[in-house]
Amino acid sequence: MTKQRICIVGNGLSGLMTALVLDKVPGIEINLIAKKDTKNVDKRTTAISDTNYKFLKQNITNLEQKLFWPSKKIELFYETSKDKINFLNLNETNSNLMYVFENDKIKSLLLRNISKNKIKLIQKDVKNLDEFKNYDLIILCIGTESKIYDNITRIRSIKKDYKEIAITGYVKHNFKSINTSQFFLKEGPLAILPFSKNYFSFVWSVKKNFFVNNSKIIFKIIKKKLIEILEKKQDITISNIQSFPITLHLRRQYHRKNILILGEGLHTIHPVAGQGFNLVLRDIKKLKEIIDYYSRLGISLKNSYALDDFYDSRKPENIIMSLGVDATHTFFKQNKYLDPLKEIILKSIKNNGKLKKFSKLISNRGLSL
């Protein structure tokens, strides 16, 4: 039987992971199209659930555990005018709640796997899709705003400009220990993500005006804020500071003919809950199952309902999870009229065992419970 050919455009984490996973499907040939200029290094970290970590282990050869920093405890705090309320602690004893990795190191590992798997890597800039007519399936993992999408989507997307900037960076420290934490501050949510014994990363989402007005002293503000919320006396060293605008962008059309949008081009959400790449990995897992099913039946992907099946199976969770994260962000925004009631609600849920269990299930498996 002639192999079916799949072309994946984009060599970010989503594109590389998609290529490796689909390459394991029998009867499939993978070509990966990458930009010629790949000098930019992604000095950020990403958090994934325990279930998605196991999915990576199944699909990446020689996955070194030291590249992933496990967390058995996650703490959530809400800042009031008087103090910080520790309103939710999530703990595990026999497993991990999440894993944090450095994007550039995992990307290098994925590229090594692709080289060993003999996936054909083609370096070129893609301006239109006419040159890929001979492929059975084309998967686009090319970020959020590519003009190529205009030739695919006809249905208006769900969009929201938060008018916020996400500030990220690495922090070197000498603390005895530090937990994964989320602080809902007056300026905006700030996440602490340990990724080694003496390093953690942070993601602080602040209003665009705050960032612009304090751009010249933002380094000092970040350092002061971190020392304040962590209540540590030791000094810290901050590096790799980057900033990105935050938007909500959910496509309501996933594909056209045999062309599929995947990754951040499909859904971009607020980083407050750390669910972005977790949704992408669940998309890839489901796509593999569907393509494997059609391939084993000997059905041509180009003329099948494979992408319709993917759309039907993944759109509900992607929409519900994304809008749920948006609602969470809205709830924690400062509001002088609702804040007193908010404090009462948060104090009441601290010892709610059922809520903790539900939160852990959703974070780990999404809506596939």
Dist CA 293 CA 309 (whole Å)? 11
Type of residue found at 148? I
The CA dihedral of 215, 207, 41, 101, to the nearest 10 degrees, is: 130
Q: How many residues does the chain have?
A: 369
Phi, psi at 79, each rounded to 5°: -85, 125
**Cβ distance 73 to 182 under 8 Å?**
no
| Angle in degrees, CA 240, 125, 263, rounded to 5 | 60
Furthest CA-CA distance within the chain: 70
Q: What total number of domains does the chain contain?
A: 1
Place of tokens 């006396």: 233
Question: Is residue 1 pLDDT above 80, yes or no?
Answer: no
Question: Which residue did the predictor score with more confidence, 27 or 369?
Answer: 27
Owner of token pair 């607020």: 270
Identify the pLDDT of residue 151: 83
Count other C-beta atoms under 10 Å from residue 278's C-beta: 22
Q: Which helix (H) or strand (E) holds 256?
A: strand 255-256
Report percent pLDDT > 70 for the chain: 98
Can you tell me whether residue 253 is helix, strand or coil?
coil
pLDDT at 129 over 90: no
This prediction has a pTM of 0.95
Q: The tokens 């948060």 sit on which residue?
A: 346
In angstroms, the Cα distances linking 352 to 71, 80, 223, 347 are 21, 21, 34, 10
- pLDDT band for position 90 (50/70/90)? very high
The mean per-residue pLDDT over the stretch 293-297 comes to: 95
Residue 98, pLDDT > 60, answer yes
Rounded CA gap, 95 and 206, in Å? 33
Q: What's the chain's average pLDDT? A: 93
Query: How far is residue 198's CA from residue 195's CA, in Å, rounded to a whole number?
Result: 8
From the centroid of its chain, how far is CA 245?
Answer: 15
The CATH code of the domain that includes 145 is 3.50.50.60
Mean of pLDDT values over 1-15: 91
pLDDT band for position 291 (50/70/90)?
Answer: very high
**Residue ranges making up the domain that contains 157:** 4-365
Return d(Cα 329, Cα 347) in angstroms, integer.
18
**Residues in Cβ contact with 237 at an 8 Å cutoff, skipping those fewer than 6 apart:** 171, 172, 173
- Cβ 35 vs Cβ 158: under 8 Å: no
Terminal C-alpha separation, the chain: 37
Looking at 129-186, which runs of residues are DSSP E strands? Answer: 137-140, 158-172, 180-184
Say whether pLDDT at 147 is over 90: no
Over residues 321-347, mean pLDDT: 92
Tokens of 307: 């992408």
pLDDT at 369: 53
